[in-house]
Amino acid sequence: MTKRKEATFILDYKYLTKETAREITLGGEPEEIRIRANKPIEYIYESKQSFGHIVSEFELRTQLELLTDYSWYNLKPQLEQGYFTIEGGHRIGVTGRNKTSIGTINIRVARQKKGIGLSVIPYIRNDSSIYNTYIISPPGEGKTTMLRDIIRILSDGADGKESFKVAVVDERSEIGACYKGIPQNDLGKRCDILDGYSKTKGMKILLRSMSPQIIAVDELGTEDDYNAVNEIINSGIKIIGTIHANRIDELKEKKNLPKVERYIFVKRDKYGKRKYEIYDSEGRQYV
């Protein structure tokens, strides 16, 4: 393991077993690491995947000890949701019944790509505020990354324009990547985060307590979420949310989803590069 690499990889090497750290040093920095007992470790990169050494059950348990800071008992409430977050905001998904019967560990390396939202910001902003906006994409295409950067830009006024009070409901700690309540990602200076709350409850709390100008929320999907979004729109606060969909016209199937003024569809081309399509409320495509 070279010192240079150690310094650049976002996930601290101390959380990884020696063998895994060595392979990352040689093979590059993955977005995801999937570790399964008695199976080769899987590294997922932006546009490819590769396999490494076979992981023994002992190594899997050691990996878990390292990721939980040897304090598995401390994470039991989070593990009921199937994942927990470690320092740096990296999300660790775990399958299995308990500490001694773990099947898979999935490490999603938190990465903030600053600046990727700048290209869509002109289509979201209007004269004095922003348009209610949904960011849509299939899973893993980068809608949360896009949302995170849009929040940062609007909260900081990073595009050289007015900044806003942005409140975020971060149910799965993916946006702010909070560790012990402190966001590990830069979401700008005017951003307040409600970490670990359900979206519906969180949106209502923010609406009443934080007097935000914009509420941002990830992965809207249930009727309750749609009702909460409706309430926000009706109270004059702007919403930016993300929605899973493989195509833009899939949104028509989501019956009670409130209409908004802007839809950003995120997808990747065959080289793994992100592309955006922007639509208005009438379905007209801008970009």
Partner 1 sequence: MEKENMRYMTAKADNMFKLIGIIIMMIGVIGLLFNWNLSYSEKNKKLKAFEELMTQTIFRLERENIRLCDFFEEVNTGNSQIDKGCKEISEMLREHQVSSVAQAWKTAWKSKLVEWGLKAREREMILNFANIYLAGDLDEIMDKAQAGREDLNILRKQEQNSYEQKKKILFPVGMLSALMVIIILI
Q: Closest approach of Cβ 96 to partner 1, in Å?
A: 10
Q: Closest approach of Cβ 100 to partner 1, in Å?
A: 6
Pairing of strands 238-244, 133-137: parallel
Q: If we measure between CA atoms, which residue out of 158, 175, 163, 162 comes closest to residue 216?
A: 175
Which residue, 51 or 70, has its beta carbon nearer to partner 1?
A: 70
Which residue, 99 or 204, has its beta carbon nearer to partner 1?
A: 99
> Amino acid letter at 214?
I
232: Cβ contacts below 8 Å, ≥ 6 apart: 203, 207, 215, 239
Q: Contact residues for partner 1 (CB under 8 A)?
A: 14-15, 17, 61-62, 65-66, 69-74, 76, 98-100
Find out whether 135 and 266 touch, Cβ atoms under 8 Å: yes
Which residue, 46 or 69, has its beta carbon nearer to partner 1?
A: 69
Is 193 strand, coil or helix?
Answer: strand
Which residue, 74 or 95, has its beta carbon nearer to partner 1?
A: 74
CA distance 16 to 68: 11
Q: Closest approach of Cβ 18 to partner 1, in Å?
A: 9
Q: Closest approach of Cβ 56 to partner 1, in Å?
A: 12
Q: Closest approach of Cβ 172 to partner 1, in Å?
A: 21
Which residue, 49 or 101, has its beta carbon nearer to partner 1?
A: 101
Burial class (CB in 10 A: 0-12, 13-18, 19+), 164: buried
CA distance 56 to 39: 8
Q: Closest approach of Cβ 58 to partner 1, in Å?
A: 8
Chain centre distance of CA 205: 21
H or E element at residue 239: strand 238-244
Which residue, 2 or 98, has its beta carbon nearer to partner 1?
A: 98
